[in-house]
Structure 1
Amino acid sequence: MPDETGAVWRKSSRSGNGNNCVQVATNLLGREGAVLVRDSKAPQDGFFAVNPDVWTAFVGGVRDGAFHR
Structure 2
Amino acid sequence: MSPRTGGADVLDWTSTTEALADEGVVVDTRDSSDRATRLVRKGRLWFFEDNSMYMYYTPTAWRPATT
- Scaled to the shorter chain, the TM-score interval is under 0.3
Structure with greater Cα Rg: 1
Task: Using structure 1 for the length normalisation, give the TM-score.
Answer: 0.25
Structure with greater proportional helix content: 1
Task: Using structure 2 for the length normalisation, give the TM-score.
Answer: 0.25
